[in-house]
Amino acid sequence: MSYPRAGLKGMRPGAYWLLLWALLTPGPQCAAAETTQGSWQLQISGHHSFVFGETGFGGGVRIPWEVVIQFQVRDGDYLLGSGSARWLDRVEGLSNPPGWFRCRQVAGTYLDSNLTLHQTPRVRFAAFPVGGRLTQGRVRLQPGYQPPGNYLAVTYECVDEGVRAENWFALAERGKQVLGKRQDVETRRDPERQVARVREVAALPPERSIELPLEDGWTFSQGGADDGSAVSFRLQRLDD
């Protein structure tokens, strides 16, 4: 082992300290691994408007929801994560035009694709595993469920409020077909009013794999408080 010693003896002092600094300083990959190391949480929140009718004419309910995904990164590798989903009990009745329809969420039931009866409201997967992988400072998250994915199933009832909306049922059926809504409807015409009881399903994210930068504080939003649907993403580290 005499060669390294001879080489170091022949070095200038400045070159020696430069070599020592290079050997002790972490490389770019090590620095990146340190910044991503630890526990992470992705919060996805938003709302969905369940409407019996067409755009600009109909009634329904707006229900907020929340999805939380947590995962860990160790030595530059993604470890298995977990997710949870829930609806929030802040239901808002909708009417367009204003004052025409009185709508509220009600208890109900529905059959899933396996002909199993469930109570509503219900999130299909309240808890689920989340796989993933890291690539060049980004993370791809893959929820552990297959199509039709995760969804929120609700039942709501609407009544035309003192205004005889003669074409309401026909327009709502057309809106269902055009927009591809997953609705099951029971309607009734009384002498003084019309009543619609609707069972409806809406997808919850992530519907498939999603990719995002692994950066503390990263956010993304789409839609607003008055839109039919809205979603916002927020990624944060849970430890230093």
Whether 20 has a pLDDT exceeding 80, the answer reads no
Main-chain phi, psi angles of 21, to 5 degrees: -65, -40
Helices first, then strands: H and E counts in the chain:
4, 16
Give the pLDDT confidence of 132-154 residue by residue, as tens digits: 999 999 999 999 998 889 999 99
Q: Going by C-beta distance under 8 Å and a sequence separation of 6 or more, which residues neighbour residue 240?
A: 38
> What does the alpha-carbon distance between residue 111 and residue 69 come to, in Å, rounded to a whole number?
28
Whether 43 has a pLDDT exceeding 90, the answer reads yes
> What does the alpha-carbon distance between residue 26 and residue 34 come to, in Å, rounded to a whole number?
10
Q: DSSP string of 136-154?
A: TTEEEEEES--TT--EEEE
Name the band, by pLDDT with cuts 50, 70 and 90, for residue 55: confident
> Residue with structure tokens 């890291």?
134
Whether 14 has a pLDDT exceeding 90, the answer reads no
Q: Kindly state the average pLDDT of the residues 206-213.
A: 93
Whether 4 has a pLDDT exceeding 50, the answer reads no
Residue type for 187, please? Answer: T
Give the pLDDT confidence of 85-94 residue by residue, as tens digits: 999 999 999 9
Boundaries of every domain in the chain = 37-237
Whether 15 has a pLDDT exceeding 80, the answer reads no
